[in-house]
Chain A
Amino acid sequence: MYGAHILQKQHRENVLKILAIIPAYNEEECLANTVSELTSVCPDIDYLVVNDGSHDRTPEICDELHLNHIDMPVNCGLTSGVKAGMKYAYRHGYDAAVQFDADGQHMPQYISKMADAMQEQGADIVIASRNLAGGGAVGARGTGAKLITALIKRATKQTITDPTSGMRMYNRKMIEIFAREFDISPEPDTISLLIRKGAKVIEIPAEMRERQGGTSYLRYFSAVSYMARTCLSLLLFQWFR
């Protein structure tokens, strides 16, 4: 029912060939639901689950359901997982790649809207923004996101309303950068850097759900060091890279 025929699927003229990259670290609870929702809502796009050295039943689920997936032999972190997906997208000639969370936060119906926006406006990166849809992170996360928005505005003169949104679509030019360049991570400071290098970044309004289960990467990635890294990158290194 899943994926086996997916690579042979024909792609129509003028339609972007899209890959959804689904990094999964210990996501046994949600992965199957997330992928089945994705394939039923968006039958035209391909997906790749990147099992990032999970210690739970994630790899078994991938095998049993014949999900299109790769297994990292050791846990390498979100950045490395996304980059592995980008390499796959680059080698298999995809026009666009979208980061898609395994935990069920992201809604697949927005993928086609993002692709439409990317084509109509000739964007390099499309971000699904919770803030444009009237939502957005609250509490400490919301404050951190607002700070990052302000720092990106300072560095690029452009307002990114939801810089920490995990649902971003990249075109082929960006896929190549992610597949090859040093110290490029799917994080807000990279978005800012790419804008400074001339990439066109747009946002579309999108709702997101609460996490359906699993453990967030950010729990392992201490929030303080995340903010320190992001702020330092935006404040200082942005001018030298």
Chain B
Amino acid sequence: MSPVLRLVLIVGSLLALWVVINRVRKKKIRIADSVYWVVCAVLMILFAVFPGIAFFFSGLLGFLSPSNFVFCMIIVLMLVKLFNMACDISKLTDKVEQLAQELALHEKENEDQGL
């Protein structure tokens, strides 16, 4: 891992942490939803500060260089998050539809009762 990549990882992660903390403070994201981003940022800082971790796993899994392992990790984390968000959106879509149906049926009931 080149010193530049390590520096970029550290600066990028700290920046990300700062953004997340700010959003929590401004009440733009719930703490429960911020856990993933904080954990990822801390993970990236760990990779940058202790390159030994990346060397160990790239050796273990047959990557040509530790930086490839770091990039692969980031891609995997992103895919996992993307899929989880797809699941969340599905759930939300279903809930919104159910709420709309409930509301429509409610209004019909109210009208039928002449309210």
Task: Give chain A's interface residues, CB within 8 Å of chain B.
Answer: 73-74, 182-183, 189, 225, 228-229, 232-233, 236-237, 240-241
Contact = CB atoms under 8 A, between A and B. Distances in A.
A73 B102 contact: yes
Contact of B99 (A73, A229, A232, A236): A73
Nearest to A239: B21
B27 A183 contact: yes
Contacts of B31: 183, 189, 229, 232-233, 237
A225 B102 CA distance: 32
Nearest to A183: B30
A181 to B, nearest CB: 8
Given A74-B99, A229-B32, A233-B31, 15 more contacts: A74-B98, A74-B102, A183-B27, A183-B30, A183-B31, A189-B31, A225-B35, A232-B31, A232-B38, A236-B21, A237-B24, A237-B31, A237-B34, A240-B21, A240-B24
Interface in B62-115: 95, 98-99, 102
Contacts, number: 36
Interface of B: 21, 24-25, 27, 30-32, 34-35, 38-39, 95, 98-99, 102
Contacts of A229: 31-32, 35
Contact of B35 (A73, A74, A228, A240): A228
Interface centre among B24, B39, B102 (most CB of A within 10 A): B24
A74 B95 contact: yes
Nearest to A236: B38
Nearest to B103: A73
A225 B38 CA distance: 13
Contacts of A183: 27, 30-31
A230 to B, nearest CB: 9
A232 B40 CA distance: 13
Interface centre among B31, B35, B38, B99 (most CB of A within 10 A): B31
A236 B41 CA distance: 13
